[in-house]
Amino acid sequence: MSTSTIDPQNIASIVRQVIAEIGQPSAAAAAPVAGPVASGSLAGANGVFSSVDEAVRAATDAFEQLERLGVDGRKRAISHIRRIAIEDAEELGRMEFAETKIGRLDHKIEKLGVLGEKVPGVEFLQSQVYSGDHGLAVIEHAPFGVIGAITPVTHSLPTIACNAVNMIAGGNTVVVNPHPSGRQVAAEGVRRFNQAIYRDLGVDNLITLVAEPTLESASELFGHRGVKLICVTGGPAVARAALQSTKRAIVAGPGNPPVVVDETADLDRAARSIIQGAAYDNNLLCIGEKQVFVVASVFDAMMAAMERAGGLRLTASQVDALTKRAIVMAGEGEHRHPVPCKDLLGKDAALLAKAAGATADERLELVFGETDLDNPFVPTEQMMPFLPFVRCRTVDEAIERAHESEHGFRHTAIIHSTNVRTMTRMGRLLDTTLFVKNGPSVAGLGLGGEGYLSFSIATPTGEGVTTPLTFTRQRRCTLVDDLRILGSPDAVA
């Protein structure tokens, strides 16, 4: 089954349209960019720096230049990021796959293409106006300045590109500390974006990056005086670090999205949706389906529907074998907890099948099997295309189990049901940022569902799917008594 969500012809027409609008040659046609890391002179570095301090200085300089270019300058800068994400999706997607060695090549490419199309821009910055007997007040959305961003290995360049579009739309510049295992593709993308923007607008370093990122450089970025706001996308440790920071932080933290299937669901549709969402990029997405709770009266029928939809069902002993291989313990004492084993994280379903002692076609998208509630796959964010299915007596029990397994992250939950009261009960109890009904998790990001896209979904800090507005400050400008044209002419002195 194909999980493709974007039509390649559609991408081609968007590329043509964007190129026609900005009248620029393709960045892909430019000379290959493998330049050295800049030190000393900041202009001409194309965003890649050896230290946090240099990167922040360059981004500060770029911020001042961007302010002078106005909203139209932001719009043009963003159009280059979109165009390169679309045009170079195949080349950059291949680089990301080769470097990170996790996920699926087709989806690495697709993620870059869709972000070029679906991430919102300056049109989100609508001012509000209040006019009344006392005159006029205008609320505008102003930039913060330089933003420090931490990005994950699961979507290294897509997260940077998404963040850059949103942040530049809001008038900011950004310094990125990428995940060390995705730093090369991050640097290559950042170089290409900056080169194209520089050629068109004469401003370099709107997006800067630390070439050799470490935990130390991340914490230096958190504490740097020149950084006005932090945006972190990642797992529990970095989310905790950002929440403890003295600066304001937008935190896109971890998830462990549960799925509930009740006796009123369209089981074949549910099965197709679960496979589409959980198999996407080998289940690396933070919103991807991670464990499924099914009402007992339809449990066996649901397992059969999963097989019809193309999933491979493991036997109990195969599930045991996979669990032993795929989940390991980390931490000490009371902090000891199960985590996915690195060599199976983000790997293909066929490899998981092999680890379980089953045989599978290379094109297999998802492995699944019945487990009890105590199986470590249930509480763990496994980030691999195996799903545990847990049998529950009633839908209330399923919702309760789903709630426990989500750990209060309030990230994403999914239900397949046609009973609106059941949907409402689950929505209220889990209280998640994304709640998808009768579709794949990716529909919650506008891929096959309505709405816009971002790969940073701010969960503990509450901003939700980030947009340009997330990265702005409200400023109110008040004019007393004048400029209001309603009212009696006599009232004007």
Interacting residues with ligand NAD (CB under 6 A) = 150-154, 178-180, 215, 218-219, 233-235, 237-238, 241, 252-255, 286, 381, 455-457, 459
For residue 227, the minimal CB distance to ligand NAD (Å) is 14
Beta carbon nearer to ligand NAD, 237 or 479? 237
Beta carbon nearer to ligand NAD, 318 or 459? 459
- Which residue pairs from 335-343 have beta carbons closer than 8 angstroms and sit at least 24 positions apart in sequence? 338/376, 338/379, 338/380, 339/380, 340/380, 340/381, 340/382, 340/383, 340/384
For residue 149, the minimal CB distance to ligand NAD (Å) is 9
353 CB contacts (<8 Å, ≥6 apart)?
A: 312, 314, 359, 360, 364, 367
- DSSP summary character for residue 391: E
Beta carbon nearer to ligand NAD, 212 or 481? 212
Count Cβ neighbours within 10 Å for each residue of 440-450 and write b for 16 or more, e otherwise.
bbbbbbbbbee
148 CB contacts (<8 Å, ≥6 apart)?
A: 174, 175, 177, 221, 222, 224, 227, 229, 230, 231
- Rounded distance between C-alpha atoms, residue 439 and residue 132, angstroms: 46
Beta carbon nearer to ligand NAD, 153 or 197? 153
For residue 457, the minimal CB distance to ligand NAD (Å) is 4
Beta carbon nearer to ligand NAD, 152 or 446? 152
For residue 314, the minimal CB distance to ligand NAD (Å) is 24
For residue 73, the minimal CB distance to ligand NAD (Å) is 28
Beta carbon nearer to ligand NAD, 215 or 479? 215
Residue 143 β-bridge partners:
472
Beta carbon nearer to ligand NAD, 73 or 338? 338
For residue 454, the minimal CB distance to ligand NAD (Å) is 8
Residue nearest to ligand NAD (CB): 234
Q: In degrees rounded to 5, what are phi and psi of residue 230?
A: -115, 140
Q: In degrees rounded to 5, what are phi and psi of residue 441?
A: -55, -35
For residue 383, the minimal CB distance to ligand NAD (Å) is 7
Beta carbon nearer to ligand NAD, 292 or 458? 458
For residue 223, the minimal CB distance to ligand NAD (Å) is 11
CA-based nearest residue to 55, from 162, 143, 148? 148
Could you give the dihedral angle defined by the CA atoms of residues 107, 112, 116 and 118, in that order, rounded to the nearest 10 degrees? 40
Angle of helix 183-201 relative to helix 156-169, nearest 10 degrees, comes to: 30
Count Cβ neighbours within 10 Å for each residue of 226-240 and write b for 16 or more, e otherwise.
bbbbbbbbbbeebbe
For residue 385, the minimal CB distance to ligand NAD (Å) is 15
Beta carbon nearer to ligand NAD, 196 or 238? 238
Beta carbon nearer to ligand NAD, 276 or 459? 459
- Rounded distance between C-alpha atoms, residue 470 and residue 7, angstroms: 29
For residue 181, the minimal CB distance to ligand NAD (Å) is 8
- DSSP summary character for residue 32: P
CA-based nearest residue to 461, from 246, 254, 243? 243
Residue 465 near residue 120 (C-beta atoms within 8 A): no
Q: Which two tokens stand for residue 432?
A: 């998640």
Residue 147 β-bridge partners:
174, 229
